[in-house]
Homo-oligomer: A and B are copies of this chain.
Amino acid sequence: MKMNKNQFCPLPPMGWNSYDYYDTTVDEEAVRNNAKYMAQHLKDYGWNYIVIDIQWYAQGAGTQRDKHQYIPFSQLEMDSYSRLLPDPERFPSSKNGAGFKPLADDIHNLGLKFGIHIMRGIPRIAAHHHTPVLGCSLTANEIADPSSICGWNPDMYGVRNTEEGQRYYDSLLELYASWGVDFIKCDDICNTNMYKHNPYSAKHEIEMLAHAIDKCGRPIVLSLSPGPALIEQSFHYEKYANMWRITDDFWDNWDLLKDMFHRCALWKDHVKEGCYPDCDMLPLGYLGKGFGHERQTRFTQAEQRTMMTLWCLFGSPLMIGAELTKLDSWTLSLLTNDAILNLRTPHCKPALLELNDCFSIWTVYNEIEKNAYVALFNLRDTEMEFSVSREELLNSFPENIDFTQLKELWAGQLKPCTDAVICTSIAAHDTCIYQLL
């Protein structure tokens, strides 16, 4: 029986991604170290994906960082069927045709899952060299579309919407499945935004990828980048993918975080089992080394609480951008707060009560445990008093809720609540999320 991609990830995936810290310079040692840390400190809380981001196949990646993020026309490691392979310099275990299998095996042995980033399409150099495609009489030049490029990365051409194009994607997934890949983050596909007439020009490549996953027999989660995803294509994302980015790259910048409230409002009804609008990685802890400027996140602790609360109640995937081995204890506690992480169960139903330029209020109701929550977000740059009437809240829960206490999930503190109104003061950019007891 055909696989059902919605069962590949019944919860929004949680994991680590190499990009925010390593950019294109990620190597095997870094991956192993972060995986070990995750297995030891994070796995018990649900974190389990280790994802190697962009250009693991590029020789010399990162060596011209002053001029190029992605060195144009550089040497890419490629097999005889026009498929990219790990750069053996950075990923020694991949030598002799082993690919990512040894690394994936080790990660699986840690009880974790293994993911890779790919650019949609076929290497440009394959097209120009007319190299073969596995199981297909055509060569790369015949399946590559010379007018379909990525605006910001020079590696690939898009693949034409033909049987032979499908064959190429099939051959990719056969390889990745043989390595033990559990997760693919495909880039330049969710929004091909350089194109004037069609930001969804790679629609057919999403379908080809999904078909190839289906054929490969391995349940591989499909994540689409970059955003913003196009709301009018929501049906298509839902049918073929597991995650799709709802913003352009997210970084540690308050304006981007504030804006995410509006994007979550737009996409909130589109979060379903196996279908996750994606708020992008969590830029906390140490970041930016591969970009040439290692730094700690610019987000305040308040902003990090706000981010985690929004991502969790909305149901976004969670991908840590930090170098895990450098996590401080405060950040670790932020990432391992069970009360917050549990908002992500399928039985927790979020609802947006208010969103304006100054603040936002969400409620969450756990249908199994009959627990009710209310999250108050201060979007202003100064402290602000919140006062929410019981009435207003109660209409937003499906069942009769009575409560006499409030438990704040970050602080863990209880406060009695006898009035008709929930009152609290919240610092700039901070959040309070109460369970009603």
Contacts and interface: CB of A to CB of B under 8 A. Distances in A.
Given A72-B141, A124-B146, A194-B194, 8 more contacts: A73-B128, A73-B144, A73-B146, A125-B128, A147-B194, A196-B199, A231-B231, A234-B266
A199 B195 CA distance: 11
Q: Quick one: which of A2, A145, A146, A265 has the most chain B CB within 10 A?
A: A146
A48 to B, nearest CB: 25
A72 B391 contact: no
Interface in A267-310: 268-270
A137 interface: no
A141 B73 contact: yes
Nearest to A392: B2
A328 interface: no
Contacts of A355: 235
20 contacts: A72-B127, A72-B141, A73-B128, A73-B130, A73-B144, A124-B146, A128-B128, A146-B154, A147-B150, A147-B152, A147-B154, A147-B194, A149-B149, A193-B196, A194-B196, A232-B266, A234-B265, A234-B269, A235-B352, A239-B354
A368 interface: no
A1 interface: yes
Contact of A231 (B152, B266, B392): B266
Interface in A203-249: 231-232, 234-235, 239
Contacts of A269: 234, 269-270
Contacts of A416: none
A235 B149 CA distance: 32
Interface string A350-362: 0011110000000
